[in-house]
Structure 1
């Protein structure tokens, strides 16, 4: 029973994109590991950019700096 957790920033990921991520991830586990899609769990977590950091800055800070 595979469990896959996908984390993305909360910057406008659409329901359709999430559907594609779930489908594609499940298909990959079926193809590579021969897993049953009925018991394959895919969870998508959207993380606020203030709560995601790289280096010494949050993604929010990095985005602001890039847009200056």
Structure 2
């Protein structure tokens, strides 16, 4: 009984995009591990930007740092 938890920042993923993620992950588990879609669970958690960090920085600051010329 696979359980997959996808975490994304809350930047407006549409219900259609989320449905595609759920379908795609389920299909992958069926294809690679021969798991039953009926017992495959996929949960999508949306995380506030200020609650997500990358490289020691809040994600918004990290993204800004990528735009700065070296």
TM-score range, shorter chain: 0.7 to 0.9
Give 5+ residue unaligned stretches, structure 2: none
Q: 1:64 Cα shift?
A: 5.3
Residue 62 of structure 2 corresponds to 62
* TM-score between the two structures when normalised by the length of structure 2: 0.85
For 1:28-68, what per-residue CA distance to the aligned partner results, in whole angstroms no more than 9, with x for missing partners?
Answer: 000000000000000000011100001221013334564xx
* TM-score between the two structures when normalised by the length of structure 1: 0.88
User: How many residue pairs get matched?
Assistant: 66
Residue 44 of structure 2 corresponds to 44
TM-align CA RMSD = 1.3
Residue 30 of structure 1 corresponds to 30
Measure the CA separation in 1 of the matches of 2:63 and 2:31. Answer: 37
